[in-house]
Amino acid sequence: MLLPGTACDYQTNFAAVLDRLGAKYHLICVNYDGFDGGGAIFPDMITVTEKIERYIKQEHGGHLDGAIIPRWTIFSRRCRRSCPRHIWSV
């Protein structure tokens, strides 16, 4: 899972590596409401984090093999508690 820094989209953060990573891994790229071009308004980071957690639970049985995520985000702290060996902070 690739999670961008707050206030930007995943393309901005990961465009340079998407093709190479996608050739080797199944990627889940996250865009936050309000920064994805969809017209939604960014509510707050807690709400967005809960939405991402629901997606992981519903679509992936609550498991990820790894994530690349900015170290200062709320989601990063929550992920690190549940699977610390598979979270790479950038």
Cβ distance 10 to 29 under 8 Å? yes
Q: Note whether residue 1 is domain-resident.
A: no
Name the domain count of the chain.
1
The two beta strands, 67-69 and 87-89, are parallel
Residue 60 domain-assigned (yes or no): yes
- pLDDT digits 0-9 by tens, 34-65: 887 788 888 887 888 888 889 988 998 988 88
72-87 tens-digit pLDDT? 555 555 555 555 455 5
82 in a structural domain: yes
Q: Is residue 18 part of a domain?
A: yes
| Structural tokens at position 57 | 């639970």
Q: Which residues pair with 29 in a beta bridge?
A: 2
- Phi and psi, residue 32, nearest 5°: -90, 145
Domain that holds residue 39: 10-89
21 domain residue, yes or no: yes
64 in a domain, yes or no? yes
Structural domain contains residue 39: yes
3 lies in some domain:
no
Q: What is the pLDDT of residue 75?
A: 58
